[in-house]
Chain A
Amino acid sequence: DGGITQSPKYLFRKEGQNVTLSCEQNLNHDAMYWYRQDPGQGLRLIYYSQIVNDFQKGDIAEGYSVSREKKESFPLTVTSAQKNPTAFYLCASSIALAGQQETQYFGPGTRLLVL
């Protein structure tokens, strides 16, 4: 079955700690995205990547970092500089970034909590 997997489902972060959220897709999609979802707010884009070894900041990139070393993988690191990391994190992918191929498909999400 093709799809997007995110792990872990729940993640706990201690003060001052960096944590990495995993996102893997086997859909052969070129583009991948990271969003943050908070109660009462719409989805907010953190980073996106069009191709391997290339990525762009979204609206709220501060305190986050990403890498895209493989087409299938787009991990997100929440650094200690992110002062309010508690949220539901969603990874998405699309065939491309143009026209009708840019419909985004989402993974199941990772809930990050601060201890």
Chain B
Amino acid sequence: EDQVTQSPEALRLQEGESSSLNCSYTVSGLRGLFWYRQDPGKGPEFLFTLYSAGEEKEKERLKATLTKKESFLHITAPKPEDSATYLCAVRRWEAGNNRKLIWGLGTSLAVNP
């Protein structure tokens, strides 16, 4: 069964304390892995798309990497404003017009000043 699992469920960091969030997936034929940030009561904000193993993308304090089984979102020297839920979604190869993304449950990150 296709599945996306994010860990940990929740993470609390001190400001400046770097860490990584994990998104592991079991899908047949990956056609894209997406990272989003979601603040409470708001819609997800797009961060990155990764398409192939070995690919890396960076944006400010965030860096996303992809292997054949998982993706990591590395947060370097986080600030309190990085506190949010980080969502991962995967699109698999599928014939026809089914455009479903498979979503993880997210990692809730809290950064203390």
Q: How large is the interface on B (under 10, 10 to 19, 20 to 34, 35 or more residues)?
A: 20 to 34
Q: For B46, give its contact among A58, A59, A104, A111 (CB under 8 Å).
A: A104
- Residues 68-87 of A, flagged 1 when their CB comes within 8 A of B and 0 if not, give 00000000000000000000
Closest to B102 in A: A42
A56 and B98 CA atoms in complex are apart in Å by 8
Contact residues, B81-113 vs A (CB, 8 A): 87, 89, 91, 97-106
- Determine the chain B residues whose CB is within 8 A of the CB of A109 once the complex forms: 41-43
Contact residues, B33-64 vs A (CB, 8 A): 34, 36, 41-46, 49, 51
A40, A88, A104 pick with most chain B CB within 10 angstroms: A104
Distance of A3 from chain B, by nearest CB (Å): 10
- Residues 30-64 of A, flagged 1 when their CB comes within 8 A of B and 0 if not, give 01000000001111110010100000101100000
26 contacts between A and B (CB under 8 A): A4-B43, A31-B99, A40-B105, A41-B105, A42-B4, A42-B87, A43-B89, A43-B103, A45-B100, A50-B97, A56-B97, A88-B41, A92-B43, A100-B49, A102-B91, A102-B99, A103-B34, A104-B34, A105-B46, A106-B36, A106-B43, A106-B45, A108-B42, A108-B43, A109-B41, A109-B42
